[in-house]
Structures are given as structure tokens and as C-alpha cells.
Amino acid sequence: MTQKFSGFQVNRSMLGGGVVLTGLGAVIGLAGTALVCYSLASAGRGWMQQMDTPPSELAARAINQARAASLAGLEAWKAEGKASVN
């Protein structure tokens, strides 16, 4: 008893409709993502302009504080090492 496999039959109109709807959904999703990104960028830009101190200056200040703390810690460590040797 031999059977021939003819494959499965795809409803081409339904498949085409699904492809079209998927493509439209992707385009609409991309447009929504672009709107969200633009909105967040505009809000961030406005927030930066309202700041009293620019972010670059805040970052430079934080780096200088970290350097000073690191140097103070290093000097304290060296002083402790000299005190324990004597």
C-alpha cells in the first residue's frame, strides 16, 4: 500500500492578507517608536537647558572629587605603612 504525499495546501489569500497586515503593523510600530524617541529627546533637551549647571561641569566636578578622595586615601595608606614600619 503506497501513499503519495502531496504536501499541505496553503490558503494563499489568507497568507497574503497576513503578510500585508504584518507589514502594516511593523510600519506603524516603527512610526510609534520614532515618535517616542523624538518626544524623549525633546524632553531631555529641555531639561538640560533648564539646569543651572551644565552636565559637563557636574561630571568634571565629580571626577575632581574622586581624584581628591583617591589621593587622600593613597596618602593615608602610605602614612599608615610608614607608621607601622617604625
Per-residue confidence in pLDDT tens, the chain, 86 aa: 566 667 888 899 999 999 999 999 999 999 999 999 999 999 999 999 999 999 899 999 999 999 999 999 999 999 887 766 55
pLDDT, residue 24, reads 98
Residue linked to cell 507589514 = 23
Residues 55 and 48: beta-carbon distance below 8 Å: yes
pTM of the model: 0.56
* Residue 70 cell numbers, joined: 583617591
